[in-house]
Amino acid sequence: MSFEAPRPVNATLHAVDNGVSIEAIEEQRARLDADIASVTARKLSAQHRAAQLDAEAKELLRAELASSRDTLAEIERQHAQSVALVQRNAQAEVDRILADAHRQAGSVMAEVATLGTDVR
């Protein structure tokens, strides 16, 4: 049982004056109340679906972010390995150049020493 507020007297009289029965008004009101209930239910359902979709989207984004972090960590690891390899190769080249320079300096010194003893 639902409580119905009393109708204003002039609205009821106006409806009767226009040839519309109170029963017709009550039927229309019942249809409108049913429509409002239906729309309210659809609205709540849509809000629930929107909340579910929002939660699913957030979870997908979290998973994508975690995957991106893993990918970035792997890229950084590979980069660190590449940098270390380049540094090792560069150091080996520096060491080779220095060794060649020392050998050449030793040869020059030996030659100068030989020339110096021959000249005297």
**Has residue 103 been placed in a domain?**
no
Average pLDDT, the chain: 88
User: How many domains would you assign to the chain?
Assistant: 1
Residue 68 lies in a domain: yes
Any idea which residue has 């030659």 for tokens? Answer: 111
Query: Which residue range forms the structural domain that includes residue 31?
Result: 9-86
User: Do the domain assignments include residue 109?
Assistant: no
**Residue 117 belongs to a domain:** no
pLDDT at residue 85 greater than cutoff 80:
yes
- In this prediction, residue 114 has a pLDDT band, given cuts at 50, 70 and 90, of confident
Residue 104 lies inside a defined structural domain of this protein: no
Mean pLDDT of 9-16: 52
pTM over 0.85: no
Residue whose pair of structure tokens reads 């729309």 in the numeric block: 39
